[in-house]
Structure 1
Amino acid sequence: MLSLAFALNHMTAPQLSLADFFRLAASLHAPRVEIRNDISGNAILDGTSANEVKRLASENDVSIISINALQQFNHWSATRAAEAETLAAYCSGSGSKALVLVADNSGQAFDSATRIANATEALQGLVPILRKFGIIGLVECLGFESCSLRSKKEAVAAIDRANGRDVLRLTHDTFHHHLAGEPDLFPELTGLVHISGVDDPAIAVGDMRDSHRVLVGPKDRLDNVGQIAALRAGGYAGPLSFEPFAEELRHLADPAGAVRQSMTFITESLKARAA
């Protein structure tokens, strides 16, 4: 029996309130959720307290695996440090296990040594904060050419230079991994996998954006199934968190049915691959 630890990022159904989102996850028997700090009119931006989030999670029997995210983590400053402290405290108070750390995507071009140095400086600042609040930092490289940290190999170098393996892991995003074209996977250092597909046959890889990201299905161009299989073969057994961004998903009549269909596709495809 193939057992997959499916999870839901709130971006899967951002039109739902936090309580309804938690109920959706519970109904899908995927009781692992990621909440966000960038959904207007919803928690966290609407001022919902960490205690209230923790209460809602407990009431619906779901666990919060991460808060998504500290943006531009690799441009460290006093402002970024204060933001990290606030988010880490919210993580701790809400019962979240981790904080996603997203690299800057503003188009600044640096050489590899500078990218690693910038990420190292930031992680050296983040490590004591993460230790203080007892949470994990999930470093996420973005595959866009405009991103200041595209390579997980460089992220791992920064993690090691910051002596942070006790509190730092990688986020493997199947969309960004495909865009970056990086062969390295690092399953032993992966703490979270984000899954989404791109179906549009006309869009060039270099032109793929978040707006093209849908639920994973038979038309997927990103080889989600292959990526998941390779990560699992390397020892990864953690959450596979749905994180699609396409506008059409906000208007689904039956979001539970759509997610369930994607779960079935992934599970059956992995079974067939292993047969």
Structure 2
Amino acid sequence: MSMAREQTLWRRMRFTPVSDALRGQLTGRLDVDQLIAEAGLPAEPAQRVREVVYRTRLWRSEKIDVATELIAHFRDGLDDDVPVDELVAGFGDAKQAARLIRRAKKRNRPWPWHVARATSLAVCVLVGVYVVASILLLMGRPAVTVDYVARLNEPAIAVPEADRAWPIYREALLAGMRDLDFDAMRVQLERGQRGIRAGEPGWGEAVVFLEDHTDLLEQIRTAAAKPGLGLSIGHNWDFTGLDREALHGPIQGDPVSPEGFYEQLAQGSLIGVTLPNASIYS
């Protein structure tokens, strides 16, 4: 029984383009098997055409074009009285022919398809990278390998002892605090008043204080001429008692010792690191 008589209503519906169906025509013109059967080729050429067409894995309309071209190729050979065996042998490998035909047909597809294909590939690559990165993130464990406190302190440590300004500043600060109403100054600091300008309340007392402590001003000028401050940053317990008193004023009690949670906090962490030289007297 021929393939032409086996094309049932369902088969015509299945292989009818949407454009034909919208016009009310069930043409079934995308049926490759039907096309090959109607060509009347011998069994071996017909099988070779069918094999190549299905190996291309193209769209149905493209398969019809390929089948039409191959049928014409074998028909021309038969019309020239070329033996069937010679025609099949001269055709070459079906797998290689299908690969070349598929490549050529895909290049001829419309540009929207190429844009959609490139976009799909880009999305797949992006999703793949995201999945790999997520797996690596879930499999990894956080590890702090850089001691940033030590790195920040390298410039201060590099200043020679004789060239450090901080010991001189500390001595001047401590000497000045002995004659200073520290409680009043703390109230001013808490109110956001970091200094007294001419004409403001307390300006006269400030002038008298400076005139009575010219030696401290000279110490500050000496410290300002030094190449570097030489004060290392750290947690509160890393500073000496004199450093804390010079930076913060008289402090009651000892600072919290690095035990338990604070001990873990101090291991190379920047959380809780104080920058007194950059925040109080800057």
Give TM-score scaled by structure 1 length.
Answer: 0.19
Give 1 or 2: higher strand fraction: 1
Give TM-score scaled by structure 2 length.
Answer: 0.19
Give 1 or 2: higher helix fraction: 2
